Amino acid sequence: MATSKQPRILVTRRLPEAVTERLLRDYDADLNADDRPLSDAELAAGIARADGLFVASNIKWDAERLSALPDNVKILVTFSVGHDHIDLDAARRRGLKVGNTPDVLTEAVADIAMLCLLGAARRAVESQRMLHRGEWEGWHSTQLVGMELTGRKLGIVGMGRIGRATARRARGFGLEIHYHNRQRLDAEAEQGAIYHDRLETMLPVVDIVSLSCPATAETTRLVDATFLRAMRPGSILVNTARGALVDEHDLLAALESGHLFAAGLDVFDNEPHVNPKLVARDDVFSLPHIGSATVNTRNAMGFCCLDNLDAFFQGRPLPFGLV
């Protein structure tokens, strides 16, 4: 890429070292090395001199914000596979190219789905808190008895790449796989999983429900009181997809009533302002949205963003384009 006039990129979050090195090699970048929230004034100043934006999900790029972008901004890439923080229709109207990071988070997020599943099933939070408080008085036969996975049924909502990767791992723990998806997979992709064209038929027959679907207008608050009541008594909910999928008030009610045995959550509504009632519970195994947090995955995400930028400024279609 020519260095005489490199495109200027505003970066709203701190990036992994390898990604930063490649970015600075090929672009004139305004970095957020401190990884602190940018004020409106700082964001506006950076946008005013930027050719492109390298963002994350902490800022909502709604129609108002996108329509106000000056003409010099021609592309926005997001350090995420999810794009519910970007109004894609507004981006199209604005003529703004948008790219994300698909396909590189699959294995890392599936690992965390299993961690959340196991943590919830085996009462990991309650066990750790007992040790940390110095309250453990030794083994006894009825202490911290949890759910054994062998022979249980796992229902996956959204059988895309992450859902299928979770299913591969779950089979190794002896779980029978059920799934609900917009379309049934072919036999090779199903690998013996049992398809349900309606959630109503799957929820009452599985012991664990794992969410692997995107947050859309149709799936926001998918897990509400009706959904939870349809789940088998004593079952587990796992969410490593998006916090907006779950009505957290209804989830709390289902846990408090004992209808659910436990929950395993890596994502929350209104992050990072997590409902303290959820994370205070012994029956909620919770993580701070670390699904993609491996060195390889975070680097791969950044490189997807840079591949999109490279393609755009070289006059090629975005390899991971949304708009």
242 is catalytic: yes
Question: Residue 211 in contact with residue 238, Cβ under 8 Å?
Answer: yes
Measured distance CA(60)–CA(24) in Å, rounded: 26
Name the phi and psi angles at 195, rounded to 5. -90, 140
Of 308, 320, 303, nearest to 102 (Cα)? 320
Question: Residue 157 in contact with residue 210, Cβ under 8 Å?
Answer: yes
DSSP conformation letters of 161-220: HHHHHHHHHHHTTTPEEEEE-SSPPPHHHHTTPEEESSHHHHGGG-SEEEE-----TTTT
Residue 8 pairs in a beta bridge with 28
What is the b/e burial string over 275-304, where b = at least 16 CB atoms within 10 angstroms of the residue's CB?
beebeebbbbbbbebebbebeebbbbbbbb
271 is catalytic: yes
Alpha helices for 95-148 (secondary structure H) = 106-121, 124-132
Which of 178, 196, 289, 298 is an active site residue? 289
Which of 271, 281, 298, 316 is an active site residue? 271
Residue carrying the six token digits 């509400």: 224
Of 193, 268, 202, nearest to 230 (Cα)? 202
Residue 263 pairs in a beta bridge with 237, 284
Specify the 3-state DSSP secondary structure of 101.
coil
Cis check for the bond before 204: say yes or no (omega within 30 of 0).
no
Residue 208 pairs in a beta bridge with 154, 236
289 is catalytic: yes
Question: Residue 85 in contact with residue 60, Cβ under 8 Å?
Answer: yes
Which of 122, 242, 248, 298 is an active site residue? 242
Residues designated as active site: 242, 271, 289
